[in-house]
Structure 1
Amino acid sequence: MSETPDDPARLCEEARRLAEDGELGLAAQLFEQVVDLGDTPLRAQAALGLAVVLDDAGNVTAARAADRTAIATRDPEYGPRAAYHLALTHERAGEHGEAGPAWQMVVDFGNPAYMPPALLALARLADDGGDFDAARGHWEEAIATGDPEYGPVAAHDLAQRLLERGDPARAQRILTAGLKLIDRETAPYAYSRLAVAVGISYLDQAIGAFGAALGDGDEPADPEIGPLATELLARTLPLRGRGGEARDIWRRGLADTGVAGQVRARLRRDFGAEDDEVDPADVWWEPVMESAVSDGSLPALAGEAFGALDHMYALLAVRYAEGGGEAHELLGRAIRVPSDYAWGPLLHESFAERLRLAMGTPAPPGWPDA
């Protein structure tokens, strides 16, 4: 009487234990023994176990063959898991052409536990290949699964592509659907990521609306709405990293004789001139500031101006600190000029610290007003 083969369940459990202990060779032998038993209920499980062990041991070719054995069983659990593992081996090797069919096999099994990441992977591959329609279909399917982990990622990726293609309204709908899949308390980062993307989609929609109000520039702007649309568009574009376009919008408005005065007033709304009787044309730096605002280079201009002021103030303050001479009173008045400005104390502190480091002498208490 022939011997009865070992129990497949016991062999699989022993192989799993050996694999966890790092005995990959022995584990592979036991998994392969179960596979060789033929069409048993544990054939798919053993084939997948064999594939994982062989992959860990560096034998990728044999691992992929074991994956295909598991897939061929059509087992509803271990079949898609084996296809998933097969796809990962191709992804890891940069073999995207082979990874795609493996991910599609995962989807074809219809197991909801493995479909979302497979759909997301298919969308990414199609997107990388320049097939937006196919990528969009996979992203939409991933969102439709309702998976709280992969659905929001798919929504974010699809929305980004829609924004790039000038379709912010559809991007908003996609992102809103993605937000509904997230528990804000348990996944605050994912929620914030999509919420910011929603805000960006509204910015893009606003940019489109403001631009439509201005038209293509061949005709003069509407004197009532043109200046407002110019300001709103020019101030919104930099928020999307489109400062060059904002500069062109300001220049276009300033060149339109019908609205130039109103556009200039809006451009200068934050200049904060206290003396309404002062004609900006009489102040040499006004055109420089106006140009910097329209060009989006005001921070750079401020940095240059403060740097020059700091240098000149230090030279004056050193001469004043040395004392003596008929220019002493004049120098004193000069270094007190910034005292009434919000940034005056910072300038004073900068000089006091440099004086202490250079001469070892602290500035007088209450400098420079004492």
Structure 2
Amino acid sequence: MTEPADPASATDDPARLCEEARTLAESGAADRAALLFERVLALGDTPYRARAALGLAVVLDDAGEVARARDADRAAIATGDPEYGPRAAYHLALTHERAGEPGGAAPAWRAVVDFGNPAYLPPAHLALARIADDEGDFETARGHWEAVVATGDPEYAPPAAHDLAQRLLERAEPAAAQRVLTAGLRLIDRAGAPYAYARLATLLGIAYLDQAIAAFHASLGDPSEPADPEVGPLATELLARTLPLRGRGAEAGEVWRRGLSDPGVAGQVRARLRRDFGGDDEVADPADLWWEPVVEQSVTDGTLPALAGEAFGALDHMYALLAVRYADDPRERRPGETHEVLGRAVDVPSDYPWGPLLHESFAERLRLAMGTPEG
């Protein structure tokens, strides 16, 4: 005669309990779901222990019971289950990151990596790279970033390539940055992710700029030695005009000054420096125009916009002084006021570095106009 089935064994089937708990959790009955997951755990070392522990961790975390959720995650990790173990470690890491606890997140992310499940390796390596980077440990961060890029994951590899390339550029390794960015760009669907593509493409352009700067520097050689007359002027211009694109305007000024002080190439360098200047007056020799050295120096120093601002500001102020009085009724002007206003207008540029040169030019023009002997 067949023995009747044990009622407890039917109600404690771990597979059925896990499925019921999942259904309850999805319907919002988290408390009842947690009880069922706990019943599975009470059954001991069953094949469903890891699944139940992770399920319990999730519902407890949603309920705000973070400490208990973390305990459940650790229980799932301890089973060594190749699917639910890394998922639990992933969940555990997120609870620590959400709380701003990188010290707690790092061991959990390392547990994810130790499981070796390819589905969870990219986010784990990326998180570990950023933690190491925040701690100033570049080599460790670099290893994790490279591991992410090596997975070819289209979601996580591009940001890893971007972060690593930025650090490589900061460390003056543009060629290495270029290789990383090129690999990252191959993983992006440009039409589907235009902004991600643009970020990496822009950084790749910067890497090329840094390589070009290094090459131009190398072509100029030792600053104490004369520049090559064949390529020196060209390399000087290219280097001086590229450096400001990387925020290195002061260095660009030094490059121009070096070229201008080298007798062998100074003439060609000056011609390149003045490439964008307007046409010279056919009558006046540019060397006799007081503003030419001022403009040339501002180009060398990268301060031409500031000089233009000063000049237009002075012109605007002078015009305002003169125009306001000109618009007044002549009958309301007191004797001598015109000369007073003119004097104030002429004095406007005095506070600018180039003001004295303008005053000297004005004095000389006035002397010539009045026929006053030079003295």
Q: TM-score range by the shorter chain?
A: 0.7 to 0.9
Residues 316-358 of structure 1, C-alpha deviation per residue, up to 9 Å, x if partnerless?
3334444769xxxx9xxxxxxxxxxxxxxxxxxxxxxxxxxxx
Q: Using a 3 Å threshold, how does the CA distance of structure 1 residues 278 and 28 change in structure 2: closer, same or farther?
A: farther
Instruction: Give secondary structure in 2 for the equivalent of 1:199.
Output: helix
Higher mean displacement: 196-205 or 117-126: 117-126
Q: CA deviation at 1:17?
A: 4.8
Residue of structure 2 in register with 1:31 after alignment: 37
The equivalences for 1:133-212 within 5 A come to 133-212=139-218
Report the aligned-residue RMSD: 2.5
CA distance in 2, matches of 1:233, 1:193: 25
Partner Cα separation in structure 2 for residue 273 and residue 320 of structure 1 = 34
**TM-score if structure 1 supplies the norm length?**
0.81
How far 1:24 sits from its partner (Å)? 4.0
Q: Counterpart of 1:182 in 2: which secondary structure?
A: coil
Aligned counterpart, 2:262: 256
- Please, which of 8, 14, 23 is the counterpart of residue 3 of structure 1? 8
**1:60-85 superposed Cα distances (whole Å, 9 cap, x missing partner):** 22221111111122222221110111
Is 1:282 matched up with 2:288? yes
Q: Which residue of 2 aligns with 1:347?
A: none
Q: Write out per-residue CA displacement over residues 79-98 of structure 1, whole angstroms, 9 at most, x where no aligned residue.
A: 11101111122223343333
Q: What residue in structure 1 maps to residue 313 of structure 2?
A: 307
> Structure 1 residue 292: deviation in Å?
1.4
- 1:355: which partner in 2? none
Kept after mapping to 1: 8 A contact 2:162/2:200: yes
Q: Which has the larger radius of gyration?
A: 2
Q: Pick from 93, 104, 111: which aligns with 2:99?
A: 93
User: What is the CA-CA distance between 1:235 and the residue it aligns to?
Assistant: 0.6
Structure 1 residue aligned with 2:299 = 293
For residue 14 of structure 1, report the CA deviation from its aligned partner.
4.3
94-103 or 14-23: bigger deviation: 14-23
Change (3 A) 1:301 1:15: farther
- Distance in 2, matches of 1:251 and 1:323, equals 54
Report how far residue 7 of structure 1 moved: 4.2
Rounded to whole Å, the distance in 2 between the matches of 1:268 and 1:293 is: 8
- Mapped partners of 1:96, 1:290: distance in 2: 53
Name the CA distance, whole Å, in 2 between partners of 1:297 and 1:24.
66
Counterpart of 2:275 in structure 1 is 269
Contact 2:12/2:39 (<8 A) preserved:
no
- Residues of 2 paired with 1:126 and 1:61: CA distance? 25
Distance 1:240 1:278 in 2: 38
Task: Label 1:273 to 1:324 Cα distance change in 2 as closer, same or farther (>3 A).
Answer: farther
Does the 8 Å CA contact 2:280/2:286 hold for their aligned counterparts?
no
Partner residue in 2 for 1:103: 109
Task: Work out the percentage of aligned pairs sharing the same amino acid.
Answer: 76
How many angstroms apart in 1 are the aligned matches of 2:283 and 2:60? 85
Equivalent-residue separation in structure 1 for 2:135 and 2:233 (angstroms): 44
Match of 1:70 in 2: 76
- 2:244 corresponds to: 238
- How many residue pairs were aligned? 328
Query: Which of 60, 76, 79 lines up with 2:66 in the alignment?
Result: 60
- How far apart, in 2, do the equivalents of 1:127 and 1:318 lie? 62
Amino acid at match of 1:33: R
- In 2, Cα distance between the equivalents of 1:152 and 1:277? 60
Report the secondary structure of 2:90's partner residue.
helix
Q: Which moved more, 1:169-178 or 1:305-314?
A: 305-314
Q: Secondary structure at the residue paired with 2:60?
A: helix
